[in-house]
Structure 1
Amino acid sequence: MTASVYASTLFFRLTIGGNDLGAFHTCTGLGAEMQVEQVVEGGNNGFAWQLPSRITWSNITLTRPVTADTTKVANWLARTVNRVDRKDGEIVALRPDLTPIANWQVVGIVPVRWQGPSFDPANSQPAVESLEIAHQGLQAAG
């Protein structure tokens, strides 16, 4: 494959409960860890059985410069404060031309942390926000 096939810049679109929260520049935490339990078998000295027990899902953090979509996150958080209701959602990795590369269904999303931007006129960096969500699992989407 040539280098032009790979996207140099990705965007991540987040939708929760059918509510499009916009595009983010970074997405971290798409992962899981399977706990395993070692069980030894009498008379078998060559190995211990590794039995899967529980899976834990990493929190997902998305960040972006402040945009008009920032109010969408604030509105979603305000609704959640009034009634915490786990919603399913989707994260879609997009190329710069907004064609999808991959997507994940995220089950049972709840907000963990929102960090709003810091405005400092002495700093030339763009104002950035981050959203951290917890969930009950990921599923690869079609």
Structure 2
Amino acid sequence: MVSQDVAVAVCFILKIDGQDLGTFDSCTGLGCEVVMEQREEGGNNGYVWQLPTRVRYSNVRLSRPVTAASKDLTRWFAALEHGTRRSTATIEARTLEGTLIAGWGLRDVVPVRWIGPSFDAATPEAAMETVELAHHGFFGAGWGG
């Protein structure tokens, strides 16, 4: 019986056009779906054609506690007021030791939202920030071996 390692990621590293924007604790939304169109064929009441039309990509959200690297993310996001430019992004899932588990490349990335930290002296929780990215597909980034 062959043993398979389970992909348990501890952190996610985000790079936009090769610029390292730091390490994140969570990453959600990596995925896509094929949009299907239903067509009923005349004279054939027992069958509905399922036709693939396009691929839809969900937005990707990465969250982390605020750190010194947060300035790079907010600086990148603030530059958008001078105009948006589609970028490429890579997201790498790594273990605590830094071993690459998996990687995803995102084409035509456009930042959608940055949510800064909320501070509350009554609640001793880490100040968190979140960035949300829209994209138009995947390209091969890299996998750990």
Secondary structure in 2 aligned to 1:80?
Answer: helix
Moved more, 42-51 or 19-28: 42-51
Q: How many residues align?
A: 140
CA shift at 1:44, angstroms? Answer: 4.0
Distance of 2:121 and 2:134 partners within structure 1? 33
What do residues 85-108 of structure 1 show as CA deviations (whole Å, max 9, x unaligned)? 010110111111111111111111
Residues 78-117 of structure 1: matches in 2 within 5 Å?
A: 78-117=78-117
Which stretches of structure 1, 4 residues or longer, exceed 6 Å deviation after superposition?
none
Where in structure 2 are there 5+ consecutive unaligned residues? none
Partner of 1:64 in structure 2? 64
Instruction: State the identity %.
Output: 46
Q: How high is the TM-score relative to the length of structure 1?
A: 0.88
CA shift at 1:19, angstroms? Answer: 1.0
Where in structure 1 are there 5+ consecutive unaligned residues? none
Secondary structure in 2 aligned to 1:74?
Answer: helix
Paired letter, 2:117: P
Secondary structure in 2 aligned to 1:79?
Answer: helix
- The answer as to 2:22 corresponding to 1:22 is yes
Residues 2-81 of structure 1: matches in 2 within 5 Å?
A: 5-6=5-6, 10-81=10-81
Paired letter, 1:79: A
CA shift at 1:38, angstroms? Answer: 1.7
What do residues 60-89 of structure 1 show as CA deviations (whole Å, max 9, x unaligned)? 110000111100101111222212001011
Distance of 2:55 and 2:27 partners within structure 1? 21
